[in-house]
């Protein structure tokens, strides 16, 4: 369980580095979730897009990303390693962290932030 906690804390730190401008909507010992929340100019409405989350379980962690991204965007944002591990809902189950997986997750978060900026979501 200690290895799982270490993986969770490491991925949580990756997401924490995005706040601000992103907003942590859940922040506890088992779940950390980050959203792009944009207030519309001159309006009382807000638009929200999930950046990602990490959730700790007994046997591993789940990392989730926005599952509304199109296939072309996913190919630009995520490495082939992450795409191969990702289910159709944008989730990746991790039971053991490797150097490559760590680097690819960090890059995915950075790429997703850049994509959100391009789309004017943040």
- Counting residues of the chain whose pLDDT is more than 90, the rounded percentage is 70
**Whole-number pLDDT of residue 120:** 79
Q: Where are the alpha helices (DSSP H) in 41-98?
A: 71-77, 80-85
**H/E run at residue 25:** strand 23-27
Are the C-beta atoms of residues 64 and 56 closer than 8 Å to each other?
A: no
Count other C-beta atoms under 10 Å from residue 49's C-beta: 17
Average pLDDT value over all residues in the chain: 90
Q: What total number of domains does the chain contain?
A: 1
Count other C-beta atoms under 10 Å from residue 69's C-beta: 18
Structure tokens at 119: 């789309």
pLDDT in tens, 29-80: 999 999 988 766 555 666 788 899 999 999 999 999 998 888 899 999 999 9
What domain range includes position 23? 2-118
């Amino acid at each position: 369980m200690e290895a799982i906690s270490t993986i969770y804390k490491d991925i949580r730190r990756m997401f924490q580095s995005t706040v601000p401008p992103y907003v942590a909507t859940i922040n506890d010992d088992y779940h950390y979730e980050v959203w792009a929340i944009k207030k519309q100019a001159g309006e009382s409405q807000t638009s929200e897009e999930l950046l990602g989350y990490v959730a700790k379980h007994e046997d591993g962690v789940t990392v989730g990303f926005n599952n509304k991204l199109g296939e072309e965007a996913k190919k630009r944002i995520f490495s082939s390693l992450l795409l191969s591990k990702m289910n159709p809902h944008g989730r990746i189950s991790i039971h053991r962290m490797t150097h490559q997986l760590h680097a690819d997750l960090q890059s995915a978060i950075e790429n997703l932030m850049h994509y959100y900026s391009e789309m004017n979501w943040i």
